[in-house]
Chain A
Amino acid sequence: MTAGKTGRIIVLHLAVIAALFAAQYFLPAYHHGNVARILVLASFAVGYNLLLGYTGLLSLGHAMFFAAGMYGAGLPLYYFDIGVIPAFGLGLLASLALAFCFGLLALRTSGVAFLIVTLMFAQAFFLATLYFNEITLGDQGFVLSEQARTLNLGGVGFSFADPTVKYNAALLLFACCMLGCLALVRSPIGRVWMAIRENEPRTRMLGYDSYRYKLLALVLSGVMSGAAGAGYALLFAYVGSTFASIQYSIFALLWALLGGVGTVLGPLVGAGLMFYLVDIAGDFTSSYLLVVGVVLVVLILWYPKGLLGSLRERWLPWLP
């Protein structure tokens, strides 16, 4: 019954990755850099969407996981020059530890209370990055040297300052997050997550310990966000407390909403669209956020389920 459907889904997602890979040979330098950035931000949004779109938990604190990955990778690299791969690993570890400890506490609440708890924790995290500004250099941040951002593989150095390396590393990160998300939501665990989203008490009466499933979703979502943060530090060289601010939590929410909550590719569409919306509006006016706001209102009015969400509802019911 589902064999043809599965084939179609896999082909679609691999085609998206292939198209993004091919795009680097056609894109002008300016857009080349932009797309690399969008891919990293989209990885963050994919992680966010795992929690909001599939498990139904609305968080306003995901910037803290992004920043945990960013500082987890950036600080050791900045102070001790430990190498790219150990730094990335530490970034993942930092976001994993944070998401796990945070989840143990925050998941005792639900609904609006959960939202507030995420917001509070993220705010405390943000303020901590400012408070310890002797280490983190606060909102001024720090820049990673090109030497620290060079990956040595068998004697060959790949510098993340090089546009080609940067683009393909960003694509690799995004492909891992996107395919990971696809595999998860189509697995038995994804099925339970969606059941929790639809009706949590019923899911408990079907014999599932919903707390553990939500904790797993939060941890994986946090790690994906952290991977994006660590990737951002490595690829774009800058680490600063702005990325821990509420603004970035809201961005993740908007990207997911715009592209389609609960769709695997929606976060990419949302992040890309928002990025260029800000970019183009910025050319015409300094109050570009106003333009962005109006466009968002219009989109949400006509496409309340986001672009891909609406597409799925009307024409492509098989879209995961």
Chain B
Amino acid sequence: MAAVTLLETRAVAKHFGGLAAVDAVDFRLNEGEIRAIIGPNGAGKTTLVSLISGRLAPSSGSITFEGEDITRLKSYQRVGRGIVYTFQVTSIYRNLSCYENVALAAQRSLARGLVGSLFGSERAVAERVEAAIHRVNLTDRLDLPAGELAYGHQRLLEVAMGLALDPKLLILDEPTQGLSQGETVSFCALIRELAKSATILLIEHNMSVVLELAERITVMDRGAIIAEGAPDEIERNSAVQRAYLGTGDAEA
């Protein structure tokens, strides 16, 4: 079966002053896969997914999603297309209840625009919230203020917010950062489950998570993609070893 391209960037670049955080990157993502992006700190991973999600506007290059050019679309418009980003630093509404947090996402994906949101049905929102919360197993904390959740649960809430948006592409920026070993294991199971309904793009430092989840791995260093392939290819790749270890090729 031929893979369908979901997302493609062509020569996309982002400069901050003289620094090319992302430098002419061609990146392609197929529908239904779990892809991990790895690389040392400052490699441009978060910048790249920010360009994809629309948090940052590219300095040059183009981005297509489902065959359509989305380069000029604002972040909130891209959410409407199905591109959902969950933050690296947990970003929830701490003073609002878990229900309200997820309801904001559910309401967005059910209603079209500002006028539509006036006539949306609260029951449909509630059903979607309960479904999303159930998938991340937080049902018993629905009415708790989000700020009172344990850290691991806050990350799950963030994922539930992403889910309630009914994403086609779910971008997870270091989702397991700060989680305990046990929480990480169940988080991996959750991501595998999510991958049945959405394409997953994952930025992750924890290599055991990456090797367990990702079908393909993209390696970035200094704003460019230096390798891409299945997990075992990447493990053997000398350019990757150089980027990570600073030395390490056979000829040296």
User: What string of 1s and 0s marks CB contacts (under 8 Å) between B60-77 and chain A?
Assistant: 000000000000001111
In the bound complex, CA of A307 to CA of B77 (Å)? 40
Q: Is the CB of A188 within 8 A of B107?
A: yes
- Interface stretch among B40-48, B109-117, B204-212? B109-117
Which residues of chain A are near B187, meaning CB under 8 Å? none
Interchain residue pairs with CB less than 8 A apart (12): A1-B142, A191-B100, A192-B104, A195-B96, A195-B104, A203-B104, A204-B74, A205-B53, A207-B108, A208-B76, A209-B74, A209-B114
Interface residues on A, range: 20 to 34
A192→B100 CA distance, assembly (Å): 10
Provide the residues of chain B in CB contact with A199, threshold 8 Å: 91, 93
Is A189 an interface residue, CB under 8 A from the partner?
Answer: yes
Flag the segment in B4-12, B18-26, B79-87, B226-234 that touches A.
Answer: B79-87
Nearest to A202 among chain B residues (CB) is B91
Cβ distance A3 to chain B, nearest Cβ, rounded Å: 11
**Chain A residue at minimal CB-CB distance from B80:** A207
Q: Is A165 part of the binding interface, using a Cβ–Cβ cutoff of 8 Å?
A: no
- Whether the pair B104, A204 counts as a contact (CB closer than 8 A) is no
Contact indicator B103/A207 (Cβ below 8 Å) = no
Given contacts A188-B111, A202-B92, A206-B79, 18 further A-B contacts (CB under 8 A): A1-B142, A188-B107, A188-B118, A191-B103, A195-B93, A195-B104, A202-B93, A204-B74, A204-B76, A205-B79, A205-B87, A207-B77, A207-B80, A207-B109, A207-B165, A209-B114, A210-B76, A213-B114
CB distance from A5 to the nearest CB of B (A): 11
Distance in angstroms from A238 CB to nearest chain B CB is 38
Q: A212's contact among B79, B111, B114, B122, by CB below 8 Å, is which?
A: B114
Residue among A191, A205, A208, A213 with the most chain B CB within 10 A?
Answer: A205
Least Cβ–Cβ distance between A232 and chain B, in angstroms: 30
* B118 and A189 contact, CB distance less than 8 A: yes
Is B241 located at the chain interface by the 8 A CB criterion?
Answer: no
Residues A198 and B91 in contact, CB atoms below 8 Å apart: no
Is A191 touching B118 in the complex (CB atoms < 8 A)? Answer: no
Q: Which 3 residue pairs across A and B have the least CB separation, nearest first?
A: A207-B79, A188-B117, A207-B108
B95 and A207 contact, CB distance less than 8 A = no
CA distance A188 to B112 in the complex (A): 12
Q: Complex: how many Å from CA A207 to CA B118? A: 16
Q: Does A161 contact B (CB under 8 A)?
A: no
In the bound complex, CA of A207 to CA of B100 (Å):
15
Is B55 engaged at the interface, CB distance under 8 Å to the other chain?
yes
A189 near B104 (CB under 8 angstroms)? Answer: no
Size category of the B interface is 20 to 34
Chain A residues positioned under 8 Å from B75 (CB to CB): 204-205
How far apart sit A210 and B104, CA to CA, in the bound complex (Å)? 13
A195 to B161, CA, bound (A): 13
Partner of B96 from A187, A198, A212 at Cβ < 8 Å: A198
Closest B residue to A203 by CB, please name it. B104
Shortest A306–chain B CB gap in Å is 16
Q: CB < 8 Å: which of A191, A192, A202, A210 contacts B87?
A: A202
A residues near B, CB below 8 A?
1, 187-189, 191-192, 194-195, 198-199, 201-210, 212-213, 216
Residues of B within 8 A of A206 (CB): 76, 79, 104-105, 108, 161, 165
- Interface Cβ pair total, 8 Å cutoff: 71
Q: Which residues of B contact A192 (CB under 8 A)?
A: 104, 107, 117
Answer whether residue B120 sits at the interface, using C-beta atoms and an 8 A cutoff. Answer: yes
Enumerate chain A residues within 8 angstroms of B100, measured Cβ to Cβ: 191, 194
CA distance A198 to B80 in the complex (A): 22
Whole-angstrom distance from the CB of B125 to the nearest CB of chain A? 8
Q: A206-B161, A207-B76 are in contact. Are A187 and B118 (CB under 8 A)?
A: yes
The verdict on B94 contacting chain A, using a C-beta distance below 8 Å, is: yes
State the Cβ distance, A252 to closest chain B Cβ, in Å: 24
* Cα A213 to Cα B108 with chains together (Å): 13
Write the chain A residue with the least CB distance to B126.
A1
Residue with the greatest number of chain A CB neighbours at <10 A, chosen from B92, B93, B165:
B93
| Residue ID in chain A nearest B83 by CB atoms | A207
Q: Nearest residue in B to A187 (C-beta to C-beta)?
A: B118
Give complex CA distance A195, B107 in Å. 12
Cα-based distance from A192 to B95 in the complex (angstroms): 14
Please determine whether A189 and B93 come into contact, CB atoms closer than 8 angstroms: no
With known contacts A207-B165, A209-B114, A198–B95 Cβ distance under 8 A? yes
Complex Cα gap A302–B120 (Å): 40
Given A204-B75, A205-B75, A209-B74: A198 in contact with B94 (beta carbons within 8 A)? yes
Find chain A residues with CB under 8 A from B117 CB: 188-189, 192
Cβ contacts under 8 Å, A203 to chain B: 104
CB-CB < 8 A to A187: which residues of B?
118
Which of chain B's residues have a CB closer than 8 A to the CB of A204?
74-76
**Which B residue sits closest to A209, measured CB to CB?**
B76
- B158-183 interface code vs A (CB 8 A; 1 in, 0 out): 00010001000000000000000000
Which residues on the A side are within 8 Å of B76 (C-beta)?
204-210
User: Given the complex of chains A and B, what is the CA–CA distance between A188 and B108 in angstroms?
Assistant: 9
Complexed CA–CA distance, A195 and B91 (Å) = 12
A16 to B103, CA, bound (A): 30
Q: How far is the CA of A203 from the CA of B93 in the complex (A)?
A: 9
